Structure 1
Amino acid sequence: MLKKQYGAVSANDLDQLDLLDKEDLIKLVKSMVSGGVALSFYGKRTAKEIDKKVRPRVTRVNKSLSVGSEHEQSKNLLIEGENLQAMVTLYKYRGQVDLIVTDPPYNTGQYFRYNDKWDTDPNDPELGGLVSLEDGSRHTKWMKAMLPRLNMMRVMLKPNGVLAICIDENELFHLGMMLDEVFGEQNRIGIINWQKSYSPKNDSKHLSTATEYVLVYAKDKTLVKTGLLSRDEAMDQKYRNPDNDPDGPWKTNGDPTVATPSEKDRYAIQSPFTGALHYPGARAWSNPKKTMKSWLEAWGSKYVEKDIQDGRVKALVIKSAPIPQVMSEHNLDNNPVVTDEEIYNHEIIKKSRDQAIRVRDTEVWPILYFSGDGFGRPYIKRHLNKVKQGKVPMTYWADDDYTEPDVIGAQSWDHEESGHSQSGINELDAIVGKGHNFQTVKPLKLIKKIIQLWCPSNGLVLDPYAGSGTTGHAVLELNKETAAQRRFILIEQGSPDKGDKYARSLTQLRLKRVITGERPDEHGRLVQVAEPINAGFQFQLLTKQIDANTVLSMKKDELVDVVITSHWEDEKRANLYLQRIDKPGFEFLVGKNDLDEGYFIVWNGEDSVGQLDIDTYSKIIQEAKKAGLKPPYHVYARYEVYQAKSVNFYKIPDKILAHLGLNENNDRFNDDEGSE
């Protein structure tokens, strides 16, 4: 494998040049000649095209594994299937995802599998064999698997969307190089270093691994807005209210200066308590002189501007008060307080001090106040209700509390969870019980922080490597805690080669119990320990590849599933929620949207698609009235021989294929980037 090239190729890499195809070699040489940086590895050109060759799949809804009302099910998806195939099938969500947060296999010799057939047929359903640490091409295989998926993730994002992808040191550098290429180095938001453990482990002869990483990239960084993390108790403790200010607590050490000096704002002010002169040092006062004067006078004395021969612009001093002698203007940047005991005891200063003490003891203090009960330096009151209600995130995320493990019970879900890897296991144990065999589970705290920062309160979160469902769990809890309305799409294949489709045995179970509030007790019995959440999700599974013949040969239930899961309209796109209607007494009605518009499929018998004519139109009108639905009526049929203004017609199979990104004319995958 050839890694990043910096104008030269190492001797060891020269032996591998024969593994590169012609186009890769040409690109590599061009980058070397131009002095640029290029990422090259065997099979890269094929990997870059794989996502365009993957065909969408038929989606089936498993009603028994879906949770919540039809309305709530329509908002969230849990998809069982291969993630590249799933993202291709989710054509209606192209360019509609706010945040992708995911945790791919780490290529540690334990989890990552690769199928060599993918190089020629990316639609092959097999997972392939486990890639061991001894496999000399293990990095190349991992990159060949990741590159097409990263391409699809980028396509799924909104223009202001963000990808946050977890990784450890095994593939950190390779993933970063691929992300620089797919998203552009200029769109890298940052690399989060989070503390996954807090005690040394015997996992290295040199350094014990205590951190992992989250690489954060934007589709277009100039459009991204990063949110604030929730304020913690330590931050709020800096705010007090010693003077019973009606505006509430305020920061008691607000700096009244700025670091960009302006000569007109670098003057002395005289303390109303001591008569001392206070200077902003090498900085400058942060507020206009007129404002500073009004704040000083609020302490009870009249202030005037006066040239005190200190080499600065006119000072703000108490009217008729004596002025301490300034020995040298050059010392004012280093020793900005000028005091004089004789000045302190002067009659005018004593009168000013009495007025200021009265204000200090009986009134709300002015914005510009003096510390040390009035005898210290000046500061600015900064009220808590006027500052950003959150904290700016840093790139290092250490855990706040490692001492108390999670316990099974209601209380473990009320307090803020610990942020290390073991807490992820504890959280999963607490909700599904032990014995799930998951050794690496991302903690809720980590994923919640990422969602808070980069997904709006009504946004859509996608996780193509859902695992145990931490991302869905985090979305559900954040919605409950903050009254948000975020939605999620989770994709998980499980380990079908081992007969373990844990998308249904683990991921679904976790999400269901988050919603129902049930948890297993110490005996494994389910008990109600939390309030149910008004939420739900639809469980979908990917089946066979789809084409025109497949659509025309579908049974009724199959076609209804495909229409409900794939339908979109230009102006609504992914914000269109279709609720399935499966009630007796309706021949054609199959669903509705949030606007109470009906969706119909015209049948000619149970398993044959019919045509829209005057008779079927009359039945559609009758069914719409019966269900309380309003036009326009969205009608799927093989042909349209009758037209009405109240009908939006969708031709089968053409429109279904178009909704899945397949070209209506040649039935090939539509890789048009214009849909982004």
Structure 2
Amino acid sequence: MPTLNWIGKEAVEKHHKDVPYRLLEPVVELSCGEEQSGNLIVQGDNLHALKALLPRYAGKVKCIYIDPPYNTGNEKWAYNDNVNSPEIRKWLGETVGKEGETLDRHDRWLCMMYPRLILLKQFLTDDGVIFISIDDNELHNLRLLMNEIFEERNFIANIIWKKKTNGNNVGHIPAVHDYIVTYAKNESSLKLFEVQQSDEYIKSSYSNPDNDSRGPWTTSDLSANHKGPYFEITNPVTGEKFFPPKGRYWVFNEDEVNKRIQEGRIIFGKSGTARPVQRVFLFERETTQKVDTWFDKQGYNADGMKTLSDILGGKVFDHPKPPNLIKFLLNFATDKNSIVMDSFAGSGATAHAVLQKNEEDGGNRKFILIELDENNAKNITSKRVRKVIHGYDFKGKLKKTLSSHKLNFQALKKANTILEDFEKLKAQYSQEFNKIKSEVNDGCLQLVGEVEVEQKMPPLPGDFLYCTLSVDPLFEANGHIRSNVSFSELAEFVWFCETGTGYTGKADSPLLGIYEGRAIYLLYNGILKDLTEQGGNILTKQVFDVLPKFEGVKVIYAAANRLGGNAKRENIVFKQTPYALEV
């Protein structure tokens, strides 16, 4: 497989291993509601934050959405990872400019992304998926980078998202789209859900003009271009005979056709004198479908800006994504209990989308957001999520679809009737809406009413814990565990080191849990209610006798082992802290 090379690659390939583990430090005054809700907003460098979160969330995140710097030269981002490499150190703190201004700008971007993607992959469940927003500046590099880290076989799609209505005549071919590069953790395990067709689409596609007791229906071709039955069908009323069109065949045999004519499932047009067609009822049809790779109805950047402005007042963030876009990804990529992560949180749109989706379907999805900039995290990311949870004053336009008709040949034939109905509806709703206009949306001609409103948006149920990263890492420079590290904090780390998965236990016993047939124990910080060295953190016979029993292999982390040969007889695998704790 082709691989990508760039300045600094060798230095960053294992840089994620050199990043120290830090602890999350809650900031109660910036949190909202129940601190143990499972929702997190973490302020700090996302490389360090991801490393801090791994012991708890490795292998537990179903969906990751990130919107990293596009490297356009206008974003004022700087490379600041502490990599021990002369060629990289000269980049520190230096803002990356446009093409031609910073000649190694693509190298810097790749050095920044590589270790973060390595860590993000470790968070995903086996059936998890990652979505990455990007544009043409780094799309080609990102695809090669993802092929290397996630493997090419796990590529799912390169989704095209229409981000604005026009390109302002900029460039040879003005761009109006971004991309959402999509990879699975393991394509063979991935399950994406189909999405519900819109009510407008269903209403415009199905009707019940004859008040059939079986409900709304539509027509479908009775012939197909594959070889099948070929015979004449006779209209039982007019006696007119019909054969399939040239090169086509009926989809049913003669007996089935006659049966369906009797049941009213094959009709001769709505007039009763046209060619025979199938009558298909809504209750018989699936109303869900797979998503495709063209998103042109999930909101624009301008919608993201308008939403954020409504919540926080004025322009406070450049190019925020519309929550509807991210919510649409959640529709087919998550279930009701999924964990969703965004390590480039920015305006907090991902959390907003999670809360909206939970409100819609009664879900209990959790979000984990990471934002580098302290001001953004305090005054934009968390403030937005807090206001959405409490409800906020809204002034703007609300839209309501008054009528919708699918644009097809049948609609064209009755165009005058549709337009007359539109005029009647305009008169009927003239007092209710400030403006009523015709629009084409999702293949439908719609009459839409707009009204200026000033109201309080209803609250979306939710809570979150706001955290920063500890200044000091988990381990001191000499490798020893920091003295103020709690048992539960070290337990998460030990479990992750031993299993590679996130820890979900209560950390209230030296027995952390059972994993793949072995029991994992930790002796540390007086978990046995005895702070003396001999009785607390060292494996002695006295300590072993009071440990929770397990018949199989026992992996015991402790400062020292005083059992000697008895350890092997008791089926103990001893691992000395802190020296055995390497990831």
Interval containing the TM-score (normalised by the shorter chain): 0.7 to 0.9
Counterpart contact for 2:78–2:94, Cα < 8 Å: yes
User: Structure 1 residue 244: deviation in Å?
Assistant: 2.8
Shift of the 489–116 alpha-carbon distance from structure 1 to 2, 3 Å rule, reads: closer
User: Structure 1 residue 289: deviation in Å?
Assistant: 4.9
Which residue is equivalent to 2:526? Answer: 610
> What is the one-letter code of the residue matched to 1:609?
N
User: Structure 1 residue 508: deviation in Å?
Assistant: 0.8
> What is the one-letter code of the residue matched to 1:515?
I
Shift of the 611–239 alpha-carbon distance from structure 1 to 2, 3 Å rule, reads: closer
Which residue is equivalent to 2:307? Answer: 427
Shift of the 195–167 alpha-carbon distance from structure 1 to 2, 3 Å rule, reads: same
- Counterpart among 543, 546, 564 of residue 474 in structure 2: 546
> What is the one-letter code of the residue matched to 2:473?
Q
Counterpart contact for 1:462–1:489, Cα < 8 Å: yes
Unaligned runs of 5+ in 1: 1-35, 299-365, 400-417, 495-499, 581-587, 590-601, 617-635, 655-661, 671-676
> What is the one-letter code of the residue matched to 1:532?
P
Counterpart contact for 1:517–1:528, Cα < 8 Å: no
Shift of the 254–559 alpha-carbon distance from structure 1 to 2, 3 Å rule, reads: same
User: Structure 1 residue 560: deviation in Å?
Assistant: 7.1
Q: Aligned-pair RMSD on alpha carbons?
A: 3.9
Shift of the 102–127 alpha-carbon distance from structure 1 to 2, 3 Å rule, reads: farther
Separation of aligned partners in 2, 1:390 and 1:106: 34
1:618-649 residue CA offsets vs partner (Å, 9 max, x unmatched): xxxxxxxxxxxxxxxxxx96457362649999
Which residue is equivalent to 1:192? Answer: 159
> What is the one-letter code of the residue matched to 2:474?
I
Q: Give yes or no for the alignment of 1:43 onto 2:8.
A: yes
- Counterpart among 544, 556, 562 of residue 489 in structure 2: 562
User: Structure 1 residue 159: deviation in Å?
Assistant: 1.8
Within 5 A, what are the aligned runs for 1:399-414? 399=297
Separation of aligned partners in 1, 2:466 and 2:305: 24
Which residue is equivalent to 1:144? Answer: 111
Shift of the 615–156 alpha-carbon distance from structure 1 to 2, 3 Å rule, reads: closer
Within 5 A, what are the aligned runs for 1:372-411? 372-399=270-297
Q: Give yes or no for the alignment of 1:207 onto 2:173.
A: yes
Q: SS at the partner of 1:90? A: helix
> What is the one-letter code of the residue matched to 2:27?
N
Unaligned runs of 5+ in 2: 397-453, 510-521, 561-574
Separation of aligned partners in 1, 2:279 and 2:582: 62
- Counterpart among 543, 546, 567 of residue 643 in structure 1: 546
Which residue is equivalent to 1:491? Answer: 370
> What is the one-letter code of the residue matched to 1:224?
L
Which residue is equivalent to 2:194? Answer: 228
Q: SS at the partner of 2:14? A: helix
Q: SS at the partner of 1:114? A: coil
Which residue is equivalent to 1:271? Answer: 235
Separation of aligned partners in 2, 1:69 and 1:38: 46
Q: SS at the partner of 2:13? A: helix
1:135-189 residue CA offsets vs partner (Å, 9 max, x unmatched): 1111111111112222222222122211110011111111122122222333222
> What is the one-letter code of the residue matched to 1:427?
T
TM-score (norm 1): 0.63
Q: Which structure would you say has the larger Rg? A: 1
Q: SS at the partner of 1:501? A: helix
> What is the one-letter code of the residue matched to 2:322?
P
Separation of aligned partners in 2, 1:474 and 1:122: 40
Separation of aligned partners in 2, 1:71 and 1:201: 47
Within 5 A, what are the aligned runs for 1:440-455? 440-455=319-334
User: Structure 1 residue 120: deviation in Å?
Assistant: 4.0
1:224-245 residue CA offsets vs partner (Å, 9 max, x unmatched): 2232334224421111122333
Shift of the 224–649 alpha-carbon distance from structure 1 to 2, 3 Å rule, reads: closer
Counterpart contact for 1:612–1:639, Cα < 8 Å: no
User: Structure 1 residue 380: deviation in Å?
Assistant: 2.1
Which range moves more in the overlay, 272-281 or 419-428?
272-281
Which residue is equivalent to 1:314? Answer: none
Shift of the 71–186 alpha-carbon distance from structure 1 to 2, 3 Å rule, reads: same
Separation of aligned partners in 1, 2:556 and 2:462: 31
Within 5 A, what are the aligned runs for 1:143-542? 143-201=110-168, 204-236=170-202, 237-250=204-217, 252-262=218-228, 265-281=229-245, 282-287=247-252, 289-298=254-263, 366-399=264-297, 419-434=299-314, 436=316, 438-494=317-373, 500-519=374-393, 529-542=456-469
Within 5 A, what are the aligned runs for 1:47-126? 47-72=12-37, 75-91=38-54, 92-109=56-73, 110-115=75-80, 117-120=82-85
User: Structure 1 residue 256: deviation in Å?
Assistant: 2.9
User: Structure 1 residue 95: deviation in Å?
Assistant: 1.9
Q: SS at the partner of 2:288? A: coil
> What is the one-letter code of the residue matched to 1:483?
G
Separation of aligned partners in 2, 1:614 and 1:39: 55
Shift of the 248–458 alpha-carbon distance from structure 1 to 2, 3 Å rule, reads: farther
User: Structure 1 residue 490: deviation in Å?
Assistant: 0.9
Shift of the 183–260 alpha-carbon distance from structure 1 to 2, 3 Å rule, reads: farther
Separation of aligned partners in 2, 1:155 and 1:162: 12
User: Structure 1 residue 121: deviation in Å?
Assistant: 10
Counterpart contact for 2:530–2:536, Cα < 8 Å: no
User: Structure 1 residue 211: deviation in Å?
Assistant: 1.3
> What is the one-letter code of the residue matched to 1:83?
N
> What is the one-letter code of the residue matched to 2:61?
V
Counterpart contact for 2:130–2:184, Cα < 8 Å: yes
Counterpart contact for 1:161–1:219, Cα < 8 Å: yes
1:412-436 residue CA offsets vs partner (Å, 9 max, x unmatched): xxxxxx7111111111111122252
Counterpart contact for 1:432–1:520, Cα < 8 Å: no
Which residue is equivalent to 2:401? Answer: none
Separation of aligned partners in 2, 1:46 and 1:199: 42
Counterpart contact for 2:81–2:112, Cα < 8 Å: no
> What is the one-letter code of the residue matched to 1:192?
I
Shift of the 188–425 alpha-carbon distance from structure 1 to 2, 3 Å rule, reads: same
Separation of aligned partners in 1, 2:502 and 2:393: 33
Q: Give yes or no for the alignment of 1:666 onto 2:579.
A: yes
Separation of aligned partners in 2, 1:56 and 1:386: 55
> What is the one-letter code of the residue matched to 1:232?
S
Which residue is equivalent to 1:593? Answer: none
> What is the one-letter code of the residue matched to 2:546?
Q
Q: SS at the partner of 1:39? A: coil
> What is the one-letter code of the residue matched to 2:242?
H
Shift of the 368–537 alpha-carbon distance from structure 1 to 2, 3 Å rule, reads: same
Q: SS at the partner of 1:107? A: coil
> What is the one-letter code of the residue matched to 1:371?
G
Separation of aligned partners in 2, 1:564 and 1:528: 48
Which range moves more in the overlay, 56-65 or 277-286?
277-286
Shift of the 649–226 alpha-carbon distance from structure 1 to 2, 3 Å rule, reads: closer
Shift of the 669–649 alpha-carbon distance from structure 1 to 2, 3 Å rule, reads: closer
